[in-house]
Structure 1
Amino acid sequence: MVLITPLLSGFIAAFIGIIPPGLINMTAAKVNLKEGRKNALWFVLGALVVIFFQVYVALLFAHVIDNRPDVVTLLREVGFVIFSILTIYFLFIAKGPKTKKKSKIKKSSKKSRFFLGMLLSGLNFFPIPYYVLVSVTLASYHLFVFESNIIFTFVMGSVLGSFAALYSYIGFFGKIEKKTDYVMRNMNTIIGSITGLVAVVTLFNILNYYFG
């Protein structure tokens, strides 16, 4: 039971972090459409290998930062700003991807797609500060502890959440293309609502720290 919370926390954090349209998930969808699902899954597997180490490194950084209350408070304030911006973006600015014509399936090496996934994931430095912020925030609410088994469980949850988000692009992108506006509008609303809730909770804790 103790490991369920970090597993779910890692899963949810990863899913929210990857589900918005970006280079990795859109490339996974593109590989699926052009080269088939097998190559797309090899691409995802390569990306997951790098994500595993990125999250682990992020938690090591977070462990050091967690021993500095002043830094934790600063991260809360930064987190409030970031989540507020994300909320505004997803609720009022974000638009669904444009529909593209289907391409013929092309053959390509599984090995090349695996390393392409590693390369694109490695070039994405956002996960490290993102997971530092998430883990420190969870720890400040006593929902996460920097212990080896908890850290490993959180990392695995993040990998599973990343796979779920990427696979959703592979499995459902064709359907999303047919109903882009409807699906993406609702997806953005859900994500924006979640980030908005996190922003409100974070603001409450910041105010409580200064005036409580």
Structure 2
Amino acid sequence: MSVILPFLSGFVAAIIGIFPPGLINMTAAKVSVTDGRRRALVFVLGALLVILVQTYISVIFARYINKNEEVVVLLREIGLGIFTVISFYFLFFAKTPKKQIDKESIQLKSKRSRFFMGMLISAINFFPIPYYVLVSITLASYKIFTFDAVSIYSLVFGVVVGSFSVFYCYVVFFEKLKSKTDYFIKNMNTIIGLVTGFVAILTLINILNYHFN
């Protein structure tokens, strides 16, 4: 159980964080269209290597934070405020994003190593670090995850497998996913607002349980 739950949690967290169209998955789809699936999968492997390192660093950082309960509670309260503000912004104030998936949006050269390109594009994306810090601390607060070596490796492996699954879908099924991609782009603000709102509610419940129990 100490292996399965962290793995599934990491798998689901990765899908939630990566499935909406972003720089990495859309670049993977672009490489697939222009250079073929094999090169696209090489690109994905490069991105996954960085994601693995980022996730491991995030969980280790979260382990040290988790030792100080007051810091954890403070981070939850800060996170509650941030998620609440983000939810209101995306639900009521943000403008609809424009579709920017055209052939000239990402310039790729066939001579450039797709593996290192995947590493580079993944490295400039700092979102996974705070995201997986928050995910691991939240999972630990619900006793789903512990900061022992087995659970950490299981969570990280789940994140890598979940990330690969999403990237693979973009690489292989991009043409079929175009309509879904358009839907996500048109409704991205609402989707983000609802997800962050749900996380804010869970965080609020967790804070209230801490203060009143």
- Normalised to the residue count of structure 1, the TM-score between the two structures is 0.83
- Three-state SS of the structure 1 residue aligned to 2:173 is helix
Q: Which amino acid aligns with 1:56?
A: Y
Give deviations 1:20-47, integer Å, cap 9, x for gaps.
2222112111111211111111100000
Q: Which runs of 5+ in 2 are unaligned?
A: none
Distance 1:89 1:30, change over 3 A: farther
Give the conservation status (yes or no) of the 8 Å contact 1:99–1:180. no
Give deviations 1:145-191, integer Å, cap 9, x for gaps.
00111100000000011112222222333233356444555787666
RMSD of Structure 2 on Structure 1 (CA)? 2.8
Q: Distance in 1 between matches of 2:85 and 2:139?
A: 20
Aligned pair count? 209
Structure 1 counterpart of 2:113: 112
Q: Which runs of 5+ in 1 are unaligned?
A: none
Give deviations 1:104-162, integer Å, cap 9, x for gaps.
xx9825x7000100111122222112111110111111111001111000000000111
- Normalised to the residue count of structure 2, the TM-score between the two structures is 0.83
Q: Distance in 2 between matches of 1:45 and 1:141?
A: 32
Same amino acid, percent of matched pairs: 57
Give deviations 1:50-93, integer Å, cap 9, x for gaps.
11111111111111111011110122123323443554566565
Distance 1:8 1:191, change over 3 A: farther
Distance 1:193 1:171, change over 3 A: farther
Q: Which amino acid aligns with 2:20?
A: P
Q: Distance in 1 between matches of 2:86 and 2:64?
A: 27
Structure 2 counterpart of 1:146: 147
Structure 1 counterpart of 2:102: 100
